[in-house]
A = this chain, B = another copy of it.
Amino acid sequence: MIKNKKVSLADIAMALGVSKTLVSMVLNGKGDENGISKKTQERVMELAESMNYKPNQFARGLRMGRSNTIGLIVSDISNPFYSRLARSVEDAVSESGYNLMICSSDESEEKEMKLLEMLINKQVDGIILSSTLDSTEHIEGLQNENFPFVLIDRIYNDFETNTVVVDNKLGAYEAVDFIINNGHKKIAAFVISPAHISTQVDRLEGYKDALKKHSIPLNQYYQKVIPREEIYQTVCQILTEWKTDHMMPTAIFVANNQIAIGSLEAIRDLGLSIPKDISIVSFDDIDLFKLYSPPITSVIQPINSIARNAVEILLDNIKIKDNSDSLIKVHKCLQTNIVVRNSVLKLG
């Protein structure tokens, strides 16, 4: 039975004929260190239990300045990558007795800043952020105020803070290297807008590195930024353009699951067949890839590990802040894995 009638510390103290101080100490596990007799402690515990006492979180937060809540900002919680990430963060965080507030920034810098402000205003104890911001100005602000946070998924080269990422460059490199090793030379890359996001920049870098290593000349014409609002249409356009120009690549490296979905649709609707007409490898693994025909080769991110690491670092930082030691910045760079399926044609 869930009770709503609010029982307060005072009620318990009153009923027991002791002070609120004593009750508070006992309930917070500070009975022993304050030398409260075992008997008294037991009486307090029992009564609190039987009265179904729950400390008022507002009073507690007001007094202690902490909420036991952490915030998570991602671009869109309905994107399967982020919803899984959120799920892992939720689990990790709640194991440590924290609650989670999940927000979607919609890739809008303005919205993200509002969200950041809102979370801080709600006095979350820390934030895990996959930022859409182009400049680090606001994030540096957080840092200067010693506010605990960790950047995941997307980071900034020129700015030192807590980060948990995947080796996007290497992951992309391996994917494209795999394509090349299957005999391909005309390989395109699709990156999603906004193209300044580090994941997209790094994956494009990895793509270029792989081509370079195999002495395949880079071709701007094969590097496309797909606007996230109209993926399908844009890919159709590009494909048609390539076709009329007689410049159709034999393979495409897709840097993100959303572009992959739109591309798969476009490729199918234009009557192209994978991998006969065009090979494809995508970043991010989603259910669809395993079940598509043919199954799509893709680069898997260790989502759970990203979440666990981020939470661990954040919680450490929150604790350190409590002790007012100085914060040490930590970086985690996790490895991706390539799952080979049947979307790349063996050439020659």
A147 at the A/B interface (Cβ < 8 Å)? yes
Contact A57–B288 (Cβ < 8 Å): no
A220 at the A/B interface (Cβ < 8 Å)? no
Contact A101–B99 (Cβ < 8 Å): yes
Stretch at the interface among A138-146, A160-168, A339-347: A138-146
Contacts of A122 in B (CB 8 A): 57, 69, 99
Q: What is the count of identical protomers in the complex?
A: 2
Contacts of A1 in B (CB 8 A): 137-138, 141
A residues 48-80 in Cβ contact with B at 8 Å: 54, 56-59, 61-62, 67, 69, 76-78, 80
Contact A103–B77 (Cβ < 8 Å): no
Interface string of A264-306 (1 = CB under 8 A from B): 1100100000000000000000111011110000000000000
Contact B261–A291 (Cβ < 8 Å): yes
Stretch at the interface among A83-91, A151-159, A187-195, A235-243: A83-91
Contacts of A326 in B (CB 8 A): none
A11 at the A/B interface (Cβ < 8 Å)? no
Partner of A58, one of B84, B123, B287, B291: B123
Shortest CB–CB separation between residue A244 and chain B, in angstroms? 26
Contacts of A83 in B (CB 8 A): 77-78, 80, 83, 86
Interface string of A95-113 (1 = CB under 8 A from B): 0000111111000000001
Contact B58–A62 (Cβ < 8 Å): yes
Contacts of A147 in B (CB 8 A): 4
Q: How far is the CA of A268 from the CA of B101 in the complex (A)?
A: 39
Shortest CB–CB separation between residue A292 and chain B, in angstroms? 6
Contact B86–A120 (Cβ < 8 Å): no
A323 at the A/B interface (Cβ < 8 Å)? no
A28 at the A/B interface (Cβ < 8 Å)? no
Contacts of A268 in B (CB 8 A): 291
A215 at the A/B interface (Cβ < 8 Å)? no
Given contacts A2-B142, A78-B83, A122-B57, contact A292 B292 (CB under 8 A): yes
Contacts of A121 in B (CB 8 A): 54, 57
A146 nearest CB neighbor, chain B only: B4
A26 at the A/B interface (Cβ < 8 Å)? no
- What are some 18 contacts across the A-B interface (CB < 8 A)? A1-B137, A1-B138, A1-B141, A4-B145, A54-B121, A57-B61, A57-B121, A58-B61, A58-B67, A62-B62, A77-B87, A80-B83, A86-B102, A268-B291, A287-B288, A291-B292, A292-B293, A293-B293
A56-B62, A90-B102, A90-B104 known, 15 other contacts, Cβ within 8 Å: A2-B142, A3-B145, A4-B145, A4-B146, A54-B121, A58-B59, A69-B122, A77-B86, A77-B90, A78-B80, A83-B83, A83-B86, A86-B102, A100-B101, A287-B288
